Amino acid sequence: MKPVYSVVVPVYNEEQVLGTTVKRLSGVMSALDKEYELIFVNDGSHDSSADIIMKLAREDSHIQLIDFSRNFGHQIAITAGCHYSRGDAVIVIDADLQDPPEVIPQMIEKWKEGYEVVYAKRSGRKGETLFKKITSSLYYRVLRRLTNVDIPVDVGDFRLIDRKVCDEYNKLTEKNRYVRGLISWLGFRQTEVSFERAARFAGETKYPFRKMICLALDGIVTFSAKPLKLSIWSGFVIGSAGFIYFLYVLYLKFFTDQTELGWPSLMSVILIFNGYLLFIIGVLGEYLGRLFEESKGRPLYVVRSALIRDITENKTENPCVHLKVLDN
């Protein structure tokens, strides 16, 4: 039977929490009294996450498993779940229970009112450091200023999207995915529900500082060309400052006796300009690197094995994925 709701759950080394995650998700979805599926995408976990999901899937027909051949990344895992989802509404939620499944019924109510995208906005963040809260808040606001796409602030990937939105998302071809930005770019009627983000139930964060920086770069570079224009404005500012400094040197030379040997100021100017040039080259390299990745034409991900039921009902065309069905 075709499900009404598809819940996409990316998983990476979450063996400590999966049992509780399935229990809470199943409880919430069963109470809705509609057919549903839970699609767990194992993103190359090194622990026993895949084995746990496989065992649970054989016991519960609602549970599906897509097992990647290696780690392809959180955003790609979400994309894979969307490719294989069949529900009229698709809910994306992380496995770590920081996004509470109990919010899903509120999102569904908004969907029934006619909204095609319902995203969960964080009113608070438990268990996170002050540094992460400040940098996260700053990033969302900088991204909003840099791009013409209306990407809501303080919103992650926890959201509900209508079938038509999911189908349009599945047509997008870029390799460097920033899901929340792409969903905003698609448009449709969007609204929010508020919730307080909980601390991790167990395990460690899968987004350390380095990965947060990479995700931030994905968002900025994918949705804004303004960093490329930085060289024009910063070049103008630095050039103007250099000209003003040159006039100051002439003033000291001809109207005062304070002229000093110029090597300290010369070295400062050289270092500033070299740092500036390296920064601009880095920005250009980031954009060129992404063009290089897009030009390769490689698949977004490769599926090592899967446990998918009624897959013949899935009409999504996904030519870039090899799927081995272990159980129909």
Question: What pLDDT digit, counting tens, does each position of 233-242 carry?
Answer: 666 666 666 6
- The reported pLDDT for the residue numbered 321 is 41
Banded model confidence at residue 284, pLDDT cuts 50, 70, 90: confident
Q: Classify residue 129 as left (phi > 0), alpha (psi -120 to 50) or beta.
A: beta
Give the total number of structural domains in the chain.
2
Q: Are 83 and 316 in contact (CB under 8 A)?
A: yes
In a domain, 327, yes or no: no
Confidence of residue 165 (pLDDT cuts 50, 70, 90): very high
303 and 292 share a domain?
Answer: no
The single-letter code of the amino acid at 34 is K
Range of the domain at 235: 226-296
> Would you state the pLDDT for residue 97?
85
Domain check: are 196 and 54 in the same one? Answer: yes
Answer yes or no: is pLDDT of 98 > 90.
Answer: no
Residues 6 or more apart whose CB falls under 8 angstroms from that of 121 comprise 152, 154, 155, 192, 193, 194, 195
182 and 270 in a single domain? The answer is no
User: Are both 185 and 40 inside the same structural domain?
Assistant: yes
Shortest CA distance to 221 belongs to which of 172, 294, 170? 294
Question: Do both 122 and 258 map to the same domain?
Answer: no
Kindly state whether residues 159 and 16 are assigned to the same domain: yes
Residue 64: inside a domain: yes
Report d(CA 85, CA 174) in Å as an integer.
20
Indicate the SS3 state at residue 115.
coil
Residue 124's DSSP bridge partners are 196
Rounded to an integer, what distance in angstroms lies between the CA atom of residue 53 and that of residue 48? 9
Q: Render pLDDT for 247-281 as a digit per residue (tens, 0 to 9).
A: 666 676 667 766 555 655 665 667 667 667 767 77
Cβ atoms of 64 and 57 closer than 8 Å = yes
Whether residues 181 and 204 fall in one domain: yes
Residue 323 in any domain: the answer is: no
